[in-house]
Every structure is written in structure tokens, then in C-alpha cells.
A and B are shown apart, each in its own frame.
Chain A
Amino acid sequence: MAIRLKVNGTIQDVDVEPDAPLLWVLRDELGLTGTKFGCGIAACGACTVHVNGKAVRSCGVSVESVANREITTIEGLGAKALNPVQQAWIEHQVPQCGYCQSGMIMAVSAFLATNPNPTEEQLDGAITNICRCGTYARIRDAVHSLSTAKQAKGAS
């Protein structure tokens, strides 16, 4: 039975088992390999995508449960122009191996959308993705530069 997915604004019907994990459907059926496999048990965040604007660890949700919702992957996030988070990541030279960064950027962009000027504690509590290369210090700097930029803009 086909399941209808809306990924990065495009409707795609996939013929897979309803309980197939979204992660593998994105990667293997749709060829969207920017979303990464790290743990398979929702523990690392490498596979984070947006479902209706919220950050979701795609290895832990069935494709059936997200049918007909708006799914955005890293490929869709900056498709037209780089998202501010992606820009800040370049400015602060955040990535090392880069493998966790798709998920990291998806998690951070969803978080900042609801909380544009987070405190340190809020940020720490919200971003629990693993970066084995240890880019956390730069992630923190990049996020702060975004909230300061926003504040400056709001003030002007």
C-alpha cells in the first residue's frame, strides 16, 4: 500500500511497510542521504528532521505516522537560500567530520524558531544531539551570534 509523504514541499508516494522507519525511507527510497544514521534508537540526533516544523528523530518514527505531514530534511532547509543557522555554522567554522551536523542544524533551527533568544540553560536542555568530534563550543557561539543578531535587528 502506498504511503503519501510530503518531503521538502514535494509529494511522494512510497510503497513500503507502514512501520518502516522514516530515516531509512528518506535515505534509501527517496535518496535523501543528508539525513544520517547514527544510533537507530533515537539516542544521538544525527537523523533529526522537521515534521510540521518540530524537530523529530527520524530513526524512531514510522513512515505511517508522518504521512501527509510537512517533512523537511537538511536538503530542504536551505534549498532556496541558506538558513541563518547554516550561515552561522559556516561563519563559526562549526563542522569537523560534519556527520552529526545535518541533525544538529535541524535541531537548532527548530529550537530557535520557537525560542529565538534562548538562555544557556534552555539551549543546553534542548540540544541533546551527540557530536563525537566535539564541536559544542562552536555550536554555542554560533547560536549566540544568531540570537544577538536577532536582538540587534529587533532593536534597529
Chain B
Amino acid sequence: MISRRKFLIGTATAAGALIVGYGLWPSRRLARATLLDAKSGERFVANWIKIADDGTITVVIPHCDMGTGIFTSLSQMAADELDADWSRVRSETAPADPLFANGSIVEGFVLEMRKMTRDSIPSVLQGAAGNTFRTLAEYADVQVTGGSSAVRMTGVYGMRVAGAAVREMLIKAAAARMNVQPNEFHTEMSRVIHTSGKSFGYGELAAEAVNYSPSSNPELKSKSDFKFIGESVARFDIPSKVNGSTKYGVDTQLPDMCYAAIRISPVFGGKLTLLNEESVAHVRGVKKVVKLDDAVVVVADRFWRASNAVGKLEPVFDHGGNGAVTSKTIRDRHSSALQHGKIKQDMKTGSGADALNNAAIIERFYNVPYLAHAPMEPANATALYEDGRLEVWSGTQDGLGSRAFCAKTAGLKLNKVTFNLMPSGGGFGRRIPGYWNFLTYAVKTAMAVPGVPVKLIFDRQQEMQHDYYRPNVTSRFRAALGQDGLPTAWVHDYTTDDAPNPEAHIFYSVPNQAYGTARVDVHVPTGPWRSVETSWHGFFIESFVDELAHEAKRDPFDYRRALLQSKPRHLGTLNLAAEKAGWGSPLPAGRGRGIGISECFGTIVAHIAEVEVNGKGQVKVHRFTTAADPGFAVNPDGFKAQMQSAVVFGLTAALYGEITIDKGAVVQENFPDYQMLRLAECPAIEVYVHESDAPLGGAGEPGVPPVAPALTNAIFAACGTRIRELPVKNHPLTRL
């Protein structure tokens, strides 16, 4: 499989780029964009920003709307620099066209890898050869929504710069009209205003503004001048989500369309060997049975007919050599790889594992299971293949990448393929590039019925059993404690089917650290799941730290504080959470509090869970107190919503989440056996934002990792049972 880490930036780093500068589009390119994506009376004035004669400003977003509110927050960033009248601002999805490739993301990830921010680049390099990143993005077909990157990368490197550049162009247009100097103007509420009081609306000036080239290095506002950034403005997308009018991928409707239902080999990689085609020969509405290598598809005039028919086919698949694999055999391989296999050293500090010699060693093992993404909208895509051209409609986490992927699958040139990026009913990593089995099957099905638009929908069972799972990971820690109870050595080895994870490295001060990996490859496909590697390392690290505090007979909060003395952001965030949660104040019997703190995609999140274990051993989660430092929240209410979401997502996984394997196939089929947290189990969640001067961090993912350890540490505090293997439901709990 492709490395989860490298998928975004492989191309960019291969080129070794360090020439930085946001690639604002040259005029020729703006004209092409206008031709492709503007209505009459409207034009692109710079990347991502269209202004119409009537003053409507449309911010074109090179991302998928998965529900995190980024269409609104990115528009806030552009509109703020632009000094726009917010009531005239709209947003829409960028076309899946190389013209709209998202260079900001490539720029952002490259800088992140080099531990730099845009401001730390010498200004002579900014703006020089400014199109490098955009060219790379185009080359790599990047329009990704992932890595919690929208606001902190597209927003910072794209939207703000573009908004500021457009503002400058509008001023130049006004100056030319009045034949005066640009510095005689200021801007406000979508108007360019001269010192004399004469003013022009943006709509009036837009057609003239495009005659000036956008500057790659326009003056940006300072924080104190923000008008929209930092405000909880209402989301654009919500009104259409309360009246059923948002059209998700699965709602695509085309004249004379057909529907397709699929059965994929239950064992990953198995091949179709036998089929009872007779059984559906006379079923109403059935048009075609499409036999694929590892799946069978029924195309019918209605979905429920296709779905009934595919069940009758009784397809038989072989096992591809994996028919004996079970969760137990997988788990055994992981633990034996760690204990007896070859450990590949990743990184060490101080004297690394040698610091364990002659010390009393504390050793612990942890495990997390496979998890499905289970977005509410199951995977689906609609495709039409006609006269050598292909058109596809689907919600994915990368429109441009999807287009290239469909072209490749169909064996067509990119210019023969159109991809319509639809809003999606949840992503969480399910729709990230490289994990697009639903596009593969939809394209192949469409090509088997040329001229007929076909909507292929995974039913919930196919979605559950043919996902790309959060991997099963086993972990071994060893530590030695000094006189003061704080660790002097920290050695962490874990299993992986990917490159070593920098997310394993701790932010706690421990003088001697060592990390290593043991490779385990299983036939179960794995992929990024909301918060990716931190989703397991967060649980491992925060569980082990809690155990060390216990061994040292110290309070878990004080213990962490002692280890965070050189990390003011982490310390501040943790302190805030503890203060708001009332850490240390007495609780009724059977209740306990637990801490989890992680850093993920630039944001630090600390949760304090308050749970109760009752006399029957049932867990009730009463309260989550969350403090988060994203540097600065562009839309505080939206940011809080992502934290609330993360608590529910994280609790679902920690309490119930487990995909198990039997006879080489996934056992779980639907929500009853892949349980979701519901309203009744949702704790009270309080969210506090801790502001710092750090560069903007992500919002969608960082709240997830510390949920599980906050929960299990609280369970330990409540009843004395230490949970080292998730999910919690597998452990009998008794109150002390």
C-alpha cells in the first residue's frame, strides 16, 4: 500500500522544492478560469475569488465539504483580507480541473515537513518563482481534503493571500479611474473609498481590476485588524442541510439512470468463481449482471431491485490464500513480531534504550483494533460512459485526484473525463486518495453499460466489510524511573504496515528515548482514519504516562506538568482543562477523572473525562472538559463543533469500536454489530480555546486521539481496572 504519510507530498518533496511563494495566477490563467467556471457578469480576479458586476463575491473552495464547516471558514479568511461585505459572500466547490489544483496544500505540507512557516522563509524567496507549489500540485493532481489542512494551509497560504491581492487590484482600478495614487484609498464593506469621500463598489471595479496582476506578496492584516477571522459566523451550508435540499453524491439524479448493487469477495483479494445468473434472469428491472475480477454487480432500473437481485446470485469467491486468517492469528503475529521479530530502530535521544540497563524496568503492552470509518453516507459513485467519454459524480476527499484516478481506471486521457465533486455525508478518511474502491467499481460498471448513467451504492454491509481500516497496532513500552519518579528512559516499539510514525515521538521531557518498529503485513487493507497515526499513539502514550504516574505514586496531572515544563502551549492547554474540570475536587464513589493530551496537525488538545463505573460494571461517561490550542480559532463556534464531534467519534471507538476478522473476512455487517454512540450516551462536553501565537493548527482531527486515554484513565481512577486493549466493551469491570 502507499504510505499514509507520503501520499500528499511525495511529488513535492521528490522535487526538493524550497522556492516558496504563493503561486498567484497570472492573468492568462485567470482568463481561463473565468471561461471555465464563471457565470456571465462574473470573473476571477485572483485564485479562488470571483467578483460579479452586482458585487457578489464567490469564494471557490478546492476542497470537499464533509461537514467540518471549511467552506465558511475559508471564505472568512478570504473575505477578511478583502474587506468584503459579508452578506455578499458565497462559496462554491472548485471544479475538478488542473487549473484549480491546490498548491497551498503542497506548500503547507512541505513547509511542515521542514518545520517552517511561510513567515520563516526569507522574503526574497517569497514570490520568486512563485508557481512552484501550484505546478507541483497540478502535476500530482492535488485537491485533497485531509490532514486537517484546509484552514491551516489553503486558508493561510491561499485564501488570505488571494483576498489581500484582490483588494490591492481593486484599489489600483479605483486609482486609475480617478487618476490618483492608490495610497489615497481605503476599503470597507466591499467598497474602495477615496479620501475625498468618493467611493466605488467592488462589483463596479472588478472588470477593471483584472487588468492588474495579483501580487504574490500582498500586505496581510495583523490579528488586531481581523473582522471575520475569529468570529463565529453562521455556516453557509446549514440551511440546505435542515430542509433536505443538499445533494450528496448518493442523491445524484440523471435522466434514465440505472442503479447498481455490488457483492465484493468477503475475503479481501478473493476472486469470483461461481454465480447463479439464472436466478435473476427474469427479475423485474434487472438490466445486466456485471462480473468483475473480485466482485459481481447487478444493474437494474431501481436500487432496491438491484439490491434484491444481487443477493440472489449466490456468488462464490475463492480465498486468495487468506481463508484461515482470524483476529487472533493477526494479534498473535503482532505480538510475536514485537517480542521475537526484528525491531527496526527509528529514532533515539540521549543514550536511548541503553539507559534501561541496570534499572528497574516498567514494561507494558497495548493494542488497538481495526476500525471502520462508517460515514453515514455509504460509499457510492454515479458514472456515465458514452462515446469514449466518462463523467463521474461522487463525494471524495480530492476532486482532481478522483478525476485522474477515474481516467486511469477507464484507460482514458484526463481530458476525456469529467468529475463532479459532491458534498459527502462524512469522510473521516474513507474518501481519501488511494482508497477509492467505490470509484473503481462504478467506473467498471459504467463501462459495461455504455450510454447508461449508473449509480453504484455500497449497502451498509459492503461499506462495513470493504473499507480501508484503521490498522490493528500493538505496542510495547519500557521505562525506567529516576529518584523523583519521572522517567529517565522511554523506549517504545510498535508494529506497523507503514513507515515509522513521527507521531510516536513524545512531547514530554525524557532525557533518553528510543523508538523502533516491527513490520507486520496482513491482507486486511488499511488507511487513514480521522487523526491517523495519532489515533493510536495518543492512546498508547497517554496510557503509559498515566501508568508511570501511578507507579511513581504521583497525581497524573502533576506528573504530566512536571514533564511539560519546557512546553508552554501544552502546559497551558492542560492547565486550562484541569482548572475547568475541577481537577482534584472530590467526586462521589465510583466516579473518576482521567487525562488525555495529544498534539495532532498543529493543534494541542487536552481532555478530562469524568466517568462512573456502577455496581454492575457499566460505564457511564458524564462529562468531557476539553481545552484546545489551535493557535487561534478562525471560527470559534465551528472549532468547538469539531471538538464536540471528536469526543463522540473518539468515545464510539474507545467504548465499542472493533472490526474483527474471521476466515479472512470482516465479521461486522451493520450498526448493531459495529455500535455507535447515541444521544443517550453522549456526555456533557465543554470546550475551551487556549490561544497562543503558534501557527494555525487543524480542527477536524486533533480532538480524537486524547479521547480514548482520557476515558480509560478515568475508568482506572473510578474502579482500578487498567484497560490496555481497546475497546472498553471487551473488559469486565468491577468496582473496588
Chain-A contact segment, one of B346-354, B402-410, B671-679: B671-679
Inter-chain pairs besides A28-B259, A33-B251, A140-B679, 5 sampled, C-beta below 8 Å: A39-B671, A77-B243, A96-B67, A124-B679, A136-B682
User: Beyond A24-B303, A28-B303, A37-B378, is A90–B457 a contact (Cβ under 8 Å)?
Assistant: no
Q: How far is the CB of B284 from chain A (nearest CB, A)?
A: 7
User: Beyond A41-B460, A98-B67, is A90–B426 a contact (Cβ under 8 Å)?
Assistant: no
Sample of 17 A–B contacts (CB below 8 Å): A28-B259, A32-B244, A34-B244, A34-B245, A39-B670, A44-B376, A90-B242, A93-B641, A96-B68, A98-B238, A100-B425, A101-B241, A124-B679, A124-B680, A132-B676, A137-B685, A140-B679
A36–B304 touching, CB < 8 Å: no
Give bound CA distance, A93 to B679, whole Å: 17
Identity of the chain B residue whose Cβ is nearest the Cβ of A121 in the assembled complex: B680
Q: How far is the CB of B60 from chain A (nearest CB, A)?
A: 21
Question: What residues on A are CB-neighbors of B67 within 8 Å?
Answer: 95-99, 133
Q: How far is the CB of A125 from chain B (nearest CB, A)?
A: 7
A139–B679 touching, CB < 8 Å: yes
Partner of B641, one of A21, A96, A105: A96
Identity of the chain A residue whose Cβ is nearest the Cβ of B66 in the assembled complex: A97
Say if the beta carbon of B253 comes within 8 Å of chain A: yes
Say if the beta carbon of B176 comes within 8 Å of chain A: no
Partner of B377, one of A16, A99, A128: A99
Say if the beta carbon of A46 comes within 8 Å of chain B: yes
Which A residues between 62 and 115 are near B, CB-CB below 8 angstroms?
Answer: 73-75, 77-78, 82, 86, 89-90, 93-102, 105
Range class of the A interface residue count: 35 or more
Say if the beta carbon of B389 comes within 8 Å of chain A: no
User: Beyond A20-B304, A89-B242, is A99–B679 a contact (Cβ under 8 Å)?
Assistant: no
B250–A37 touching, CB < 8 Å: yes
Q: Tell me what chain A mostly uses at the interface: helix, strand, loop, or mixed.
A: loop
Say if the beta carbon of B440 comes within 8 Å of chain A: no
Q: How far is the CB of B185 from chain A (nearest CB, A)?
A: 36
Q: How far is the CB of B392 from chain A (nearest CB, A)?
A: 18
Question: What residues on B are CB-neighbors of A74 within 8 Å?
Answer: 243-244
Identity of the chain B residue whose Cβ is nearest the Cβ of A98 in the assembled complex: B241
A31–B253 touching, CB < 8 Å: yes
Say if the beta carbon of A60 comes within 8 Å of chain B: no
Chain-A contact segment, one of B19-27, B125-133, B600-608, B643-651: B643-651
Question: What residues on A are CB-neighbors of B641 within 8 Å?
Answer: 93, 96, 135, 138
User: Beyond A43-B671, A97-B67, A100-B376, is A130–B678 a contact (Cβ under 8 Å)?
Assistant: yes
Residue in A74, A89, A98 with the greatest tally of chain B CB atoms within 10 Å = A98
Question: What residues on A are CB-neighbors of B428 within 8 Å?
Answer: 132
B250–A95 touching, CB < 8 Å: no
Partner of B425, one of A90, A99, A105: A99
Give bound CA distance, A133 to B652, whole Å: 11
Question: What residues on A are CB-neighbors of B649 within 8 Å?
Answer: 132-134
Say if the beta carbon of A131 comes within 8 Å of chain B: yes
Identity of the chain A residue whose Cβ is nearest the Cβ of B69 in the assembled complex: A96
Give bound CA distance, A94 to B427, whole Å: 18
Say if the beta carbon of B359 comes within 8 Å of chain A: no
Give bound CA distance, A35 to B303, whole Å: 15
Question: What residues on A are CB-neighbors of B648 within 8 Å?
Answer: 131, 133-134, 136
Give bound CA distance, A144 to B638, whole Å: 21
B244–A93 touching, CB < 8 Å: no
User: Beyond A139-B679, A140-B679, is A132–B238 a contact (Cβ under 8 Å)?
Assistant: no
Say if the beta carbon of A38 comes within 8 Å of chain B: yes
Q: Which 9 A-B pairs give the minimum distances between C-beta atoms?
A: A34-B244, A134-B648, A99-B425, A97-B67, A98-B241, A74-B244, A124-B680, A96-B67, A136-B682
Identity of the chain A residue whose Cβ is nearest the Cβ of B257 in the assembled complex: A28
B284–A132 touching, CB < 8 Å: no
Give bound CA distance, A84 to B251, whole Å: 26
Give bound CA distance, A19 to B228, whole Å: 53
Give bound CA distance, A80 to B245, whole Å: 15
A98–B304 touching, CB < 8 Å: no
Say if the beta carbon of B226 comes within 8 Å of chain A: no
Identity of the chain A residue whose Cβ is nearest the Cβ of B637 in the assembled complex: A93
Which B residues between 413 and 440 are near A, CB-CB below 8 angstroms?
Answer: 423-428
Give bound CA distance, A152 to B525, whole Å: 55
Q: How far is the CB of B311 from chain A (nearest CB, A)?
A: 12
Say if the beta carbon of B589 comes within 8 Å of chain A: no
User: Beyond A35-B244, A90-B242, is A136–B679 a contact (Cβ under 8 Å)?
Assistant: yes
User: Beyond A41-B460, A96-B68, A128-B679, is A134–B375 a contact (Cβ under 8 Å)?
Assistant: no
Which A residues between 7 and 58 are near B, CB-CB below 8 angstroms?
Answer: 16-17, 20-21, 24, 27-29, 31-41, 43-44, 46
Say if the beta carbon of B360 comes within 8 Å of chain A: no
Say if the beta carbon of A123 comes within 8 Å of chain B: yes
Residue interface bits B271-285, CB-to-A below 8 A is 1, else 0: 000000000000010
Question: What residues on A are CB-neighbors of B208 within 8 Å?
Answer: none
Give bound CA distance, A89 to B237, whole Å: 12
Say if the beta carbon of A127 comes within 8 Å of chain B: yes
Say if the beta carbon of B239 comes within 8 Å of chain A: yes
Say if the beta carbon of B246 comes within 8 Å of chain A: yes
Q: How far is the CB of A36 from chain B (nearest CB, A)?
A: 7
Question: What residues on B are CB-neighbors of A35 within 8 Å?
Answer: 244
B304–A97 touching, CB < 8 Å: no
Residue interface bits B211-235, CB-to-A below 8 A is 1, else 0: 0000000000000000000000011
B253–A99 touching, CB < 8 Å: no
Question: What residues on B are CB-neighbors of A105 within 8 Å?
Answer: 242
B645–A123 touching, CB < 8 Å: no
User: Beyond A28-B303, A89-B238, is A97–B243 a contact (Cβ under 8 Å)?
Assistant: no
Question: What residues on B are CB-neighbors of A96 within 8 Å?
Answer: 67-69, 641, 645
Give bound CA distance, A125 to B678, whole Å: 10
Q: How far is the CB of B67 from chain A (nearest CB, A)?
A: 3
Question: What residues on B are CB-neighbors of A77 within 8 Å?
Answer: 243
B671–A98 touching, CB < 8 Å: no
Give bound CA distance, A123 to B678, whole Å: 11
Q: How far is the CB of B387 from chain A (nearest CB, A)?
A: 26
Say if the beta carbon of B522 comes within 8 Å of chain A: no
Say if the beta carbon of B90 comes within 8 Å of chain A: no
Question: What residues on B are CB-neighbors of A17 within 8 Å?
Answer: 284
Partner of B671, one of A16, A130, A139, A140: A130
Question: What residues on B are CB-neighbors of A94 within 8 Å?
Answer: 238, 242
Which B residues between 280 and 310 are near A, CB-CB below 8 angstroms?
Answer: 284, 302-304
B671–A93 touching, CB < 8 Å: no
Give bound CA distance, A107 to B424, whole Å: 22
Q: How far is the CB of B328 from chain A (nearest CB, A)?
A: 28
B243–A33 touching, CB < 8 Å: no
A127–B647 touching, CB < 8 Å: no
A97–B377 touching, CB < 8 Å: yes
Say if the beta carbon of B45 comes within 8 Å of chain A: no
Question: What residues on B are CB-neighbors of A140 within 8 Å?
Answer: 679, 682
B682–A93 touching, CB < 8 Å: no
Give bound CA distance, A78 to B243, whole Å: 7
A24–B241 touching, CB < 8 Å: no
A97–B376 touching, CB < 8 Å: yes
B637–A137 touching, CB < 8 Å: no
Say if the beta carbon of B559 comes within 8 Å of chain A: no
A82–B377 touching, CB < 8 Å: no
Give bound CA distance, A43 to B374, whole Å: 13
Which B residues between 439 and 465 are near A, CB-CB below 8 angstroms?
Answer: 457, 459-460
